[in-house]
Chain A
Amino acid sequence: MLAPITYIQPLTTLRRTRYLPVEGAITVGLGDRLRASDVIAHTGVHKQHMMLDAARALGVPANRVDKFIQREVGETVEEGAIIAGSRGLASRQLRAPVAGRIAAISEGQILLQASDESLHVYARVPGLVIDIDPGHSVTLECICAWIQCLWGNGLSGEGNLHMVADGPQHQLTADQIDMSLRGAILIAGHCSQRQALELAGQVPIRGLILGSLATRLIPVAEKMEYPIAVIEGFGQIPINADAYTLLNMHKGETAALNAEANAPYAGLRPELVIPLSEAGRPPQPVEMQSFRIGQTVRVLSGRYKGQLGEIIELRDNVIYESQLRGPAAELTLLGGGRARVPLVNMELLG
C-alpha cells in the first residue's frame, strides 16, 4: 500500500512552485534569492471599483453612448476629469468622482478602478528562483531543514526560532510569553489556553509552531494575525521525537513558517523551512513509498496517536479493536512497547 508521508528532514533540497491564481506580472527574475515575505507577482485583480452609468449621465440610449465616451480602458483619470460628454447647448458630462483607472467599459457602463490595491502573490518560503513560467508561476529552491505540519491558520512569517518548549509534552501558557519574544517564531508543545495565543499576538511574535492545539481554540487561532502551525493535530498530543529534536537543534536560527491551509489537491501543506547555507546539494525528498518492514512511522489515530514506531511485521486482513478489518502493521514503539496499527492510520516520516 502506498504510504502517506510527512516530511521531517534535517537536510533537503526543497522546491516550491507558486502558482498565480490568475494570470499576472512576475516581479522577480531567475537567480533572485528571495525571502519568504517577498512579493513574487501581482495580478490585475483589484479590490474596489465604481460603476459609472454613462448612458444615464448623458441622457442618451445605451447603444449610442459609446461615441461620447472620451476615455479608453487602461487610462488613468484625475478626480473631476471628464470621462464622457455630449456636445451642444445642453451638453452633459460624466466626470470621475475620484481619481482612478478605467478598468472596463461595456454597454455604456464604465468601471473605474479606484484603488491601486491588487492581489499580490508572496514567496512564502525563502529560496533561489530557478524557474519562471511568465504570467503563471515561479519555482523556488531552498536547501533547508524542513518540517511539514498538519494544520495551519493560513498566514506566513519569518523570524528566529525560539524554543519555549522544555520537552515534547510542554504546555504553552500566557506566563511564558513576554516582550523578549517579540519578532520570534515560538516552538511550543500543546496549547489549550486562549490568553496565551492572544498575548503572543500582542507582543507580537512572528509565528507559533505547536505540537498540538485544543480543538476549541481553532477559531481563536484562525483569527490571530500571526502564523500558527500544528505538527500533530488537535487535542493533547506531544511533539513527535524527530520533530522535537530537529527543532531543538535549530533554535535561534532564522526560519520561515508557512502556515498555509491544507490543500491536498494543490500539494499545499503548512510547513516550517529553516534555510541552511554551506550545506552542499542534498537530494530532494522521495515522493512515493510503500510500507516496508524496518521503516519508522508515525501513528495518526487511535490509542497510540502521535507515537513513532518501527514496522516489524505487515499483515493483511487484521481485525482491529473496533472490529473493522484491514491491513495492519506490528510496531515497536520508540517510546517502548508494541502496537498493532491499521496501515491507514499511520504514515511514513520522510
Chain B
Amino acid sequence: MSEHTPHLPNALVAIDLGSVTTRAHFFDAVEGRYRFIAAGEAPTTAGAPTLDANHGILQALAELQTITGRQLLNERGLLLANNTESNLGAHALTATFSAGPPLRVITVGLLDGVSLHSVNNLVDSFRCEIVDSLSLGDRRSPERVIDAISQNLPDLIVVAGGTNRGASLSVVRLANYLALALKLLPENSRPPVLFVGNENVQSEIEGLLSPLTDLYKTTNIRPSLDHENLGPAEAALGMLLFEIQARKLKGLDQLSRLAETRLMHSAQAFGRTVRFLSTVIDAPKGILGIDLGASSTTVASAFGGELEVRSYPTLGMGSSLGGMLAETQLQQITRWLVDDLPDDFVLDYLYNKTLLPGTLPSTTQELGIEMAAARQVVRLAVGKSLPMFPANAIYPLTGTVPWFDRILVAGSTLARHPRPEHSLLAVLDAVQPVGIVTIILDQNHLASTLGAAAAVDPLLAVQVLESNAFMNLGTVIVPVGSARPGSTVLRVQLEREGHKEDVVEIVEGDITVLSLPPGKVADLFVQPLQNMNIGLGPGRGGWIRRVVGGAFGLIFDTRGRPIQMPTSFNKRQELLQTWERRLRGGS
C-alpha cells in the first residue's frame, strides 16, 4: 500500500449525526499512515426539547477535544485549519447523518416489475418511507390515485417510466395524474418531483409539471428493459433528500456547509465502504454489510465493486423496533433468550425502547432481550434483501444468503456488547451465512464515516480498514446438507507455517472452534462427508489457502440452515449456553 500523500489533510474530523447518538471521530496521519485516533460522543439533540443538532455536535467535539488533547473548538465552533501542517483544529471535516424522520416519498413507474421496481430500489437505498406507489397496473380509479397522492402529503415524488426508445404516452398520462394531484395542493406546499424516466419525454414532463412545482430531471434509471442505471439518479436523489431534510432538521445545513460536499446519508456512506472493501481486498464472492441502527437497518452488498443498498426505516433497535414487532411472532425473539422471561416482560421492554430509544440495557436480562431482538431485526432485513443479491452468486442452498467472503456488521447493539462472542453468535443466528466467510465487527462505529472520509482521501479508508480499528471476529465455515446430529460431517486439518496439525472431525449440529488468532493465516484442508457442501459443491473439498484468523479463530457452524431451535425452553437454554461456551473456546 502506498504511503500517505503529504499534501492531503492529516487531521480529519468526521461527524456522524445518528438518530440517538452523535459521534465525532478523529483521524490523523501517524508515521505516514492514517489512523483512527479517538471518538467523542453525545446524545443527538435534533429532537425535542432542544430541536437543534448543533448542541449534540458541539458536545461530541468537546469530548473528542478532551480525549485527544488537541484544540478542535474555538468560540465559533469547530476549528478548521487551512494549513495542513497545523497542530490546531481539523484540516478537513466529513459528515454522515441518519437523524430525522424518514422522508415520505411517492414513487411512480410504468410497469410494476420494471420501472416501478427500479424506482423503488432507488428510493429504498435511502432512509425513506414509500407511502404510495403508482403504475399502469394500479387497480384504483384515477381519482382515488389522485386523492391518495394529494392526501399523503409526500415530501417528494419520484417518477420513472419508459425506456429511452419506449413508451411515451403512458408516462405522460401518469404525469398528468400527478399534475392534477399537485393542483389540489396549495402552491407553496407542493412536493418537488424528480423525473428519472424516458429521457425523450423530459420536455413534455417539464411542460406539465414545471409550472406546478420544482421539477428535477436526471438520466433514465431504466434506459432499456434489461439495463438498470441507478448511479446518476442516486446522486440527484441524495442531494434532494438532503435539502428536504435540512429544512426539517436544524443544524444539518450548518454541518453541510462545514463539510462542503462531504456530507452523506449514512446508508449511502456505509454502502460506499462496503463497495470499497470489495475492491481493495480479495473478495471474489462479495461483501455483505449490515448496519443495525436505532432508527433503521441498512443492508449493502458488493460484488466486484457492484453495490446494492437497502435501508429499512421500519427495522431498527430504537424507535423503529415497532416495525419488527409488527411482523414478528414473539417466539421468534424469545427463542434466542437464555433467560426464561415472561412474554410480557420482553414485550414491555421492547415497546418501552421504542419510546425511549436512547436507553441502554442495564441488566443482563435486558441485554439478552436486545440481542434476541437484534437477531430478528437483522434476520428480517436480510430476508427482505434477498432479491437484491445477484442471481449468479454462489448459493449452496436455496433460500439463504449467497456465499460471501466477508460480512461487515455495524451498529451499537452489536458493537458495544461486552462479550464479542455474543455479537458473533447473534450475527451467525441472524444472517445464517453459508460457505466460508469472515465476520468483521465495526467496534468503533467507523463504517459509515469511512465511506464519507474516502471523498477526502481514499487512502484514509484503505489504511483505517487495514488497521485494527475493526475487529475480525473469525472465519466461519458452514457446511450444508442433510446429516444426523452428532455424525461426522467434515474432516479438517490446519497447516500453519509449514506444520500440519492433527485431523479434526467436525460433527453435525454444533459449533466447533479451532484456534487461529487475529492476523494469522493458515491453510485449511476440508473433506466433507455425507455429501455436505461447504460452497464448493456437494461432497467437494480440498485445501483452502490462506484462511484468515480472528478473535474467535476458525468456527465450524454445523447447525444446519435454517437453524431449528427446540421448543422446550430447557433444551434451548442448554444449546444457547453450549454455543456461547464453544465460541469462548470451551468444550
- Give the B-binding residues of A (Cβ under 8 A): 1-2, 4-5, 21-24, 43-51, 73, 103-104, 106-107, 109, 111, 135, 150-151, 214-216, 218, 233-235, 262-269, 285, 287-288, 300-303, 305, 320-326, 341-342, 344-345
B208 at the interface (CB under 8 A from A): yes
- Asked if B101 is at the interface of the complex by the 8 Å CB criterion, the answer is yes
What 0/1 readout, one digit per residue, does chain B (429-448) give for beta carbons within 8 Å of chain A? 00000000000000000000
Measured CB to CB, the nearest residue on chain A to B21 is A344
Which residues of chain B are within 8 angstroms of A4 by Cβ–Cβ distance? 43, 358
Q: Please judge, given known A-B contacts A265-B249, A322-B367, whether A301 and B359 are in contact too, CB under 8 Å.
A: yes
**In the complex, residue of chain B having the shortest beta-carbon distance to the beta carbon of A340:** B362
Check if B146 sits within 8 Å of A111, measured CB to CB: yes
Q: Please determine whether B418 and A49 come into contact, CB atoms closer than 8 angstroms.
A: no
B362–A106 touching, CB < 8 Å: no
Q: In whole angstroms, what is the CA distance A124 to B429 when docked?
A: 47
B366 within 8 A of A: yes
Which residues of chain A have C-beta atoms less than 8 A from B352's C-beta? 233-235, 300-301, 305
Please name the residue on chain A nearest to B186 by beta carbon. Answer: A23
Please report the C-alpha to C-alpha distance between residue A2 and residue B42 in the assembled complex, in whole angstroms: 8
Choice from B147, B187, B353, B363 contacting A303 with Cβ under 8 Å: B363
A218 to B352, CA, bound (A): 12
Of all chain B residues, which has the CB nearest A230? B355
Q: Does B141 have its Cβ within 8 Å of any Cβ on chain A? A: yes
Residues of B close to A265: CB separation below 8 A = 46-48, 51, 99-101, 248-249
Contact B47 A264, beta carbon cutoff 8 Å: yes
Q: Quick check: A45 and B150 within 8 Å, CB to CB?
A: yes
Q: Which of A151, A322, A344 contacts B366 (CB 8 A)?
A: A322
Determine if A51 and B48 form an interchain contact, defined as CB atoms under 8 angstroms apart.
Answer: no
Bound-complex Cα distance A297 to B154 (A) = 39
- In the complex, what's the smallest C-beta–C-beta distance from A216 to chain B, in angstroms? 7
- Known contacts A4-B358, A5-B49, A233-B352; A22 and B153 CB within 8 A of each other: yes
Q: Are A107 and B351 in contact (CB under 8 A)?
A: no
Give the docked Cα–Cα distance between A324 and B366 (Å). Answer: 11
Candidates A2, A266, A303; contact of B362 at CB < 8 Å? A303
Q: Chain B 277-312, CB within 8 Å of chain A: the 1/0 string? A: 000000000000000000000000000000000000
- CB contact list, B42-68 vs A, under 8 A: 42-43, 45-51, 55-56, 59
Interfacial residues, chain B to chain A (CB-CB below 8 A):
42-43, 45-51, 55-56, 59, 99-101, 141-143, 146-147, 150-151, 153, 176, 179-180, 183-189, 208, 248-249, 344-345, 347-349, 351-353, 355-356, 358-364, 366-367, 416-419
Contacts of A266 in B (CB 8 A): 48
Among B43, B47, B348, contact of A234 (Cβ-Cβ < 8 Å): B348
Additional A-B contacts beyond A21-B153, A47-B151, A235-B345 (5; CB < 8 A): A106-B176, A233-B355, A288-B49, A322-B361, A324-B361
Whole-angstrom distance between the alpha carbons of A289 and B471 in the complex? 36
Distance from A106 Cβ to chain B, minimum over Cβ atoms (Å): 5
Shortest Cβ gap from B175 to chain A (Å): 9
Q: How far is the CA of A342 from the CA of B189 in the complex (A)?
A: 44
For A104, the chain B residues whose CB sits under 8 A away are 180, 183-184
**In the bound complex, CA of A216 to CA of B146 (Å):** 37
CB distance from B241 to the nearest CB of A (A): 15
Query: CB within 8 A of A47: which of B142, B147, B349, B416?
Result: B147
Chain B hits for A285, CB < 8 A: 49
Nearest to A301 among chain B residues (CB) is B359
Residues of A within 8 Å of B55, CB to CB, are: 2, 288
A288-B344 contact in complex given A106-B208, A109-B180, A234-B351, C-beta closer than 8 Å? no
**Residue pair B362, A322 in contact (C-beta under 8 Å):** yes
Cα-based distance from A103 to B51 in the complex (angstroms):
37
CA distance A264 to B319 in the complex (A): 10
Choose one: B43, B187, B367; the contact of A1 (CB below 8 Å). Answer: B43
Contacts of A106 in B (CB 8 A): 176, 179-180, 183, 208
Residues of A within 8 A of B56 (CB): 2
Q: Are B361 and A49 in contact (CB under 8 A)?
A: no
Given the known inter-chain contacts A44-B186, A234-B351, please indicate yes or no for A269 contacting B48, CB distance below 8 A: yes
Cβ of B371 to closest chain A Cβ, rounded Å: 10
The smallest C-beta distance from A208 to any residue of chain B, in angstroms, reads 18
With A and B bound together, what is the CA distance between A245 and B249 in angstroms? 36
B147 adjacent to A321 (CB under 8 Å): no
Question: How distant is the Cα of A348 from the Cα of B183 in the complex, in angstroms?
Answer: 47
Asked if residues B59 and A1 are in contact (CB atoms below 8 Å), the reply is: yes
Give the chain A neighbours of B100 by CB distance below 8 A. Answer: 265
Q: How far is the CA of A134 from the CA of B147 in the complex (A)?
A: 26
CB distance from B378 to the nearest CB of A (A): 20
Partner of B419, one of A323, A341, A342: A323
Which chain B residues lie closer than 8 Å to A303 at the CB level? Answer: 362-363
Give the docked Cα–Cα distance between A269 and B51 (Å): 13
B52 CB, min distance to chain A CBs, angstroms = 9
**Is there contact, CB below 8 Å, between B43 and A103?**
no
Query: With A287-B49, A322-B367 as given contacts, are A344 and B359 in contact (CB-CB < 8 Å)?
Result: yes
List 8 tightest A-B contacts by C-beta distance, closest first.
A235-B348, A264-B47, A22-B189, A104-B183, A302-B362, A23-B186, A323-B418, A301-B359
Which residues of the other chain, A, contact B45 by a CB distance below 8 angstroms? 2
User: Which of B189, B344, B367, B419 gathers the greatest number of chain A CB atoms within 10 Å?
Assistant: B189
In whole angstroms, how far apart are the Cα atoms of A320 and B370 in the complex? 15
